[in-house]
Amino acid sequence: MMKRNRWRSLAALATMLTAGGAAPQDANWRIFRDPALGLSFAYPPAWMARVGCHASRRCIALTEGEHTVDEYVMALEVFRGGLDWTAATKSVFRRQSDGWVAHGRFADHPAERIEGEVWNGLEAVVDCGISAGGGVHAAAGECLWAVLSDGRMSVVADTQGMSPVGDDIRRVIRSVRFTRS
């Protein structure tokens, strides 16, 4: 019986991968898919995916438990356009003569180039303010920003500095797949 369940799990994974879905990071990770957005990604089982962050239907908030879309651990927002345009107009990234930087609350931070199976991107951890209700920035935190693009579509991912920028956040980013042909 255990062998049959293992084969079913492997068959389901193979079907999902050939269908262009995001690969789960372990057997318990959930998969978010939205054919209209042309996006899929994997995320931890304790998190919820909710559409509507940044007041946009193109934005998916990953929250812990029952938090609202404004209390996200990570937001992923889809835009039409390539990497350079999206990074410069929809995120904290700016091109300089020696490469890309990300503008934080108090300083600029070097951006790293990242790659997925069919996308290229930029990623940086910046200093950011943490809101304590009413829009008051009560403390400084570290926020991760990333822009991923397949050349036609892009995703801007950001965190709010409330949770540490850890492996799960980076694994979500690496699992992003553009599914619109």
> Each residue of 20-60: pLDDT tens digit?
445 445 679 999 999 999 999 999 999 999 999 999 999 99
> Each residue of 122-169: pLDDT tens digit?
999 998 876 555 555 555 688 999 999 999 999 999 998 777 788 999
163 belongs to a structural domain:
yes
The predicted pLDDT at position 140 comes to 66
132 belongs to a structural domain:
yes
Which residue segment(s) compose the domain that 92 sits in? 22-178
Both tokens of residue 34? 């939205």
**The pTM is what?**
0.81
The CATH number for 146's domain is 3.40.1000.10
Indicate whether 17 pLDDT > 80: no
12 belongs to a structural domain:
no
pLDDT band at residue 175 using 50, 70 and 90 as cut-offs: very high
CB within 8 Å of 156: residues ≥ 6 apart: 76, 77, 79, 86, 90, 91, 145, 146, 147
17 belongs to a structural domain:
no
Q: How many structural domains is the chain composed of?
A: 1
The predicted pLDDT at position 65 comes to 83
Q: Distance between the two ends of the chain, CA-based, in angstroms? A: 39
Indicate whether 173 pLDDT > 90: yes
The predicted model gives 92-116 an average pLDDT of: 94
55 — phi, psi (to 5°)? Answer: 55, 35
User: Can you give the length of the chain in residues?
Assistant: 181
The predicted model gives 99-121 an average pLDDT of: 94
Per DSSP bridges, beta strands 39-43 and 47-51 are unpaired
What is the C-alpha separation between 60 and 75, in angstroms, rounded?
A: 6
80 belongs to a structural domain:
yes
